[in-house]
Structure 1
Amino acid sequence: MSRKQIHIAAHFPGVNNTTVWSDPAAGSHIEFDSFRTFAQEAERGKFDFLFLAEGLRLREQNGEIYDLDVVGRPDTFTILAALAAVTDRLGLAGTINSTFNEPYEVARQFASLDHLSAGRAAWNVVTSWDEFTGENFRRGGFLAESDRYARAESFLSAATTLWDSWNDDDLTDDASDEFLTRGDAGAYSYRDRFFDIEGRFNVPRSPQGRPVIFQAGDSDAGREFAAAEADAIFSRHGDLENGTKFYADVKRRLAKYGRRHDELLILPAVTFIIGDTDAEAADVAHEVRLAQFSAATATRLIEQLWNVPLPDFDADGPFPTFDPVEGESTVSKGRASVRMLGRDAKGIADQWRGIAAAQGLSARETVATAIARGGLVGSPETVADQLDELVQNDAADGVILAPHITPGGLTPFVDRVVPILQERGVYRTDYEGSTLREHLGLAHPDRVATQEAAS
């Protein structure tokens, strides 16, 4: 039985708790040279794509800017378009919100990026849950959870209608090298309860037909949306036990939509620490986790779970002795709180307090242990083993690496782990195609349509 090929991508971490700002090797998260260095290193490692998150407002808590947001976050499309000019094969994936944007604009931007990059664009379709972000936009407010995914589905359907309004044969060259188009090229009409748009889409069919579609939601509605519409899932289940459960659950949903097992890739985000020995890597990983969860970050997270401000709280001491306050979140603005990861706030608090008591940990140390992302930790051989185990045991189809150092954090993995995977025959030694769909083994949508029509 042949072994599965491993897909590897890189997440430019931006402003989140994987970043260790205090490390002397840490660089800017807003200067273009950081993005260029990061992308070119990923391409040197023959990665499938670079993934860039999006933030639409600085996060706040207790009236202060969240401590990881102090550098802001530049526009996703601008960065990806610039990176298209300094890379040749690396896919370019961006998170763009479906709650506060419009289908025509987003479809046009992604189609343009796909042309500029010769077929390397991908869209991570996300929704926004909070009124705080909505204040930046004309509509303001926020959507109920049931409407968020309904609008996202409609949004993607509308964008697909726009992309499909051109066919490959709508654009041809004549003897004078002038373009001739059919009279209905780009014509579209889309109407439902969310959108009422009609006109002509002014970007011809792109090299991939459509950008690759990613989805990152973990709720039941999010999993269903991914099974119906997405090409890949940006998952948070990076360990073997939870990964196999998530993988099996999402893959089983595909048949309902007439899709095959291999038409949806599952790619969890994972951190990594590589040392000369497993023991050395474990020691470094412990120090990195503590650096990722500063006293300020840990306090903000604990306030989110307890649902009250804790102005005099010492994160290097014990947890609050009282239980979390029930009800709507009163302290978290513009950030998905810990409560969103589990509805039982008291249960999580009891679990954290139990870990702290059993292991003699402070509140900050416990938070760093309890909610840090799943990671690959060990010598180069051990990390290669861990990654291969995830993929061969159907816990993932690959991973999206989130280094704790930007922009040079990918180098140890590229230099020390990639050659081992290549020697084992589970990872490419060079790019075989030019588009992101080819890197990921995904069919061009026009060919899928032709095959379905023939059957």
Structure 2
Amino acid sequence: MTVKKQIHLGAHFPGVNNTTVWSDPRSGSQTDFASFVHFAQNAERGLMDFVFLAEGLRLREHRGRIHDLDVVGRPDTFTVLAALAAVTSRIGLAGTINTTYNEPYELASQFASLDHLSAGRAAWNMVTTSDAFTGENFRRGGFLPREQRYERAAEVVAVTRALWDSAQGDSSGTGIEHHGPHFDVRGGFPLSPSPQGHPVLIQAGDSAQGRDFAAATADAIFTLHGTLEAGRAFYADVKARLPQHGRSAADLKVLPGVTFVLGDTDGDAHEEAARIRRQQVSPQTAIAFLEQVWGRELSEYDPDGPLPDVEPDVDNVSITRGRVRHARDPRAVAQEWRDYAAAHGGLSIREVVIEKTGRQSFIGTPRTVAAQMDEFVQRDACDGFILVPHLTPGGLDRFVAEVVPELQDRGSYRTEYPGPTLRDHLGLRHPHAPLTRKESA
């Protein structure tokens, strides 16, 4: 009998993104600790690998005003995860912390402390930021040219790992001595080895630089892809990069971020999904997305009318400060949107934005969604998913109650946790364990 690949699941806490639907009467607080507890404990009941907190270092501005999808209220990541460690027992605790604005020694201490407090369940989602707008909140400005972001990130991770490693067997107390282009660090590490050796490292990125960085350093990569074929291509590409870094395919889990909508019938689910997308993309939000591509003030355009005939202003792409949604040539994006609108019967601005800015989504009955997810994993489009629900804090409730049992019935999802640590959940080696003969082949 063939043993099926097991699906890994993480859960992204909703609240700071363009997915959360605040107008839904079931929507709750994104700052009340009870919301975090509900979400994390439900994910743990669903035997998920980890819960995942996003990062927001500055409120984004669109044409000089706070963007209407941004929210005031982002509790400190380490504070929330440490508190969640006390009210959960198995679920992994993943936090997004920037490599551009933080120091290796601080990061090593904070994540090792969380790993100790949670008995081996800590994870670090490593991200970079290139914009000076965010850096204005930091003493040194924080701005780095795009090409230097990953250089600094690689050095941050290397020094952080060296500090963790020094705790493994450094009885001299001298610790490490590092001199590089970004950091000079010399000294001992104040903590004993944490339960996982190293907290799990997650990398968010789809670019060629991001893929290389993940292949060299990460245990999991948080990615985006819209189709089974695109997922398989990404999966094959990233896994093929691992051997040059002395790593095996099992050492890096590919976990795309996905949404889901459940219904009693597939038709009901698709109707609900359409309703949710219209809530996520209001008329005002559609114009804001459009302005980010066109680099122009377009408030006079009707969201239910056609796309503009005017060409994008290529010198004013960053009309939204704090986040670049479209790194590609805006003229190419605009033409792609026009072609898409024409090919689908003349879609309006809002309809195009709804279609072109959504995540990969699984829609249908719990059985249908389970089958769709299973196909992606069994056909090597990914190793699992990071679920991005649209409701805070109950967005996982029906998934845990109805989809998880379907996945278990298919033989592709665990019925109990395999061990106490997040590395156990993800099937990852201890950082200092050698490759087996099978893994290195």
TM-score by length of 2: 0.96
Give 1:351 shift. 2.3
Greater mean alpha carbon deviation, residues 84-93 or residues 315-324? 315-324
Give the 3-state SS of the residue equivalent to 2:87 in structure 1. coil
Moved more, 263-272 or 346-355: 346-355
Q: CA deviation at 1:8?
A: 0.8
The answer as to 2:168 corresponding to 1:183 is no
Q: Would you say 1:3 and 2:4 are equivalent positions?
A: yes
Q: Is the Cα–Cα contact under 8 Å of residues 77 and 94 in structure 1 kept in the other structure? A: yes
Residue 346 of structure 1 corresponds to 331
Partners of 2:224 and 2:31 lie apart in 1 by 25
Cα contact 1:58–1:72 (8 A) shared by 2: no
Residues in 1 aligned to 2:299 and 2:411: alpha-carbon distance in whole angstroms: 54
Within 5 Å, give how 1:17-416 maps onto structure 2. 17-167=18-168, 182-184=171-173, 187-327=175-315, 329-337=317-325, 339-340=326-327, 343-357=328-342, 358-416=344-402
Counterpart residue type for residue 231 of structure 2: G
d(CA) in 2 for partners of 1:141 and 1:162? Answer: 23
Mapped partners of 1:421, 1:77: distance in 2? 32
What do residues 58-83 of structure 1 show as CA deviations (whole Å, max 9, x unaligned)?
A: 00011100112233322111111111
Contact 2:287 2:299 in 1 (8 A): no
Q: CA deviation at 1:14?
A: 2.1
Q: SS of the residue aligned with 1:425?
A: coil
Report the AA paired with residue 269 of structure 2: A
Question: Match of 1:174?
Answer: none
1:349 shift after superposition: 1.3
Q: How far off its partner does 1:441 sit? A: 0.1
* Partner-residue secondary structure (3-state), 1:403: coil
CA distance in 2, matches of 1:249, 1:187: 37
> Structure 1 residue 449: deviation in Å?
8.3
Asked if the contact 1:29/1:71 (under 8 Å) is kept, the reply is no
Note the alpha carbon deviations across 1:37-64, whole angstroms, 9 max, x for none: 0000100100000011111000001110
Once residues 153 and 142 of structure 1 are traced to their aligned partners in structure 2, the CA distance between those partners, rounded to angstroms, is: 17
Equivalent residues of 2:60, 2:67 under 8 A apart: yes
Q: Return the alpha-carbon distance in structure 2 between the equivalents of residues 379 and 449 of structure 1.
A: 41
1:409-424 → structure 2 map (5 Å cutoff): 409-424=395-410
1:353 partner letter: R
Where do 5+ consecutive residues of structure 2 fail to align?
none
User: 1: CA distance between counterparts of 2:436 and 2:199?
Assistant: 18
User: SS where residue 164 of structure 1 aligns?
Assistant: helix
1:152 and 1:330 map into 2 onto residues whose CA distance is 24
Counterpart code for 2:333: I
Q: Which of 435, 441, 444 lines up with 2:427 in the alignment?
A: 441
How far apart, in 2, do the equivalents of 1:400 and 1:282 lie? Answer: 21
Query: Could you tell me how far apart the structure 2 residues matched to 1:11 and 1:164 are?
Result: 29
Does the Cα contact within 8 Å between 1:99 and 1:151 map onto a contact in 2? yes
Report the Cα offset of residue 120 of structure 1: 0.2
User: Within 2, Cα distance between the matches of 1:84 and 1:54?
Assistant: 19
Q: CA deviation at 1:323?
A: 1.2
- 8 Å contact from structure 1 (residues 270, 374) kept in 2: yes
The amino acid across from 1:355 in the alignment is Y
Question: Shift of the alpha carbon at 1:328?
Answer: 5.1
Q: Which residue of 2 aligns with 1:175?
A: none
CA distance in 2, matches of 1:298, 1:198: 51
The C-alpha deviation readout for 1:73-103, integer Å capped at 9, x for no partner, is 2211111111111100000001100001110
Partner-residue secondary structure (3-state), 1:326: coil
Identity percentage over the alignment? 58
Worse overlay, 46-55 or 134-143: 134-143
User: 1:314 is paired with a residue of what secondary structure?
Assistant: coil
Aligned residue identity for 1:209: G
- Structure 1: distance between partners of 2:261 and 2:384: 17
Q: Contact 2:306–2:346 (CA<8 Å) still a contact in 1?
A: no
State how far apart, in whole Å, the 2-side matches of 1:295 and 1:121 are.
40
Contact 2:294–2:317, Cα closer than 8 Å, also in 1: no
CA distance in 2, matches of 1:424, 1:244: 21
CA RMSD of aligned residues (A): 1.8
More displaced 10-residue stretch of structure 1: 300-309 or 392-401:
300-309
Counterpart AA for 1:205: P
Inter-CA distance 238–210: structure 2 relative to 1 (3 Å threshold): farther
Contact 1:214 1:230 in 2 (8 A): yes
1:125-146, Cα deviation, whole Å (9 max, x unpaired): 1100201000000110511111
Instruction: Supply the distance in 2 between the matched residues of 1:79 and 1:361 (Cα, whole angstroms).
Output: 43
The one-letter amino acid of 1:19's match is T
Equivalents in 2 of 1:296, 1:120: separation in Å? Answer: 41
Distance 1:330 1:123 in 2: 29
Question: Does the CA contact (< 8 Å) of 2:178 and 2:184 recur in 1?
Answer: yes
Contact 1:238-1:268 at 8 Å conserved across structures: no
Amino acid at match of 1:352: W
Instruction: Measure how far apart 1:327 and its partner are.
Output: 2.7
Change (3 A) 1:390 1:449: closer
**Contact 1:239 1:390 survives alignment (8 Å):** no
Which SS does the other structure have where 1:323 is aligned?
coil
- SS of the counterpart of 1:165? helix
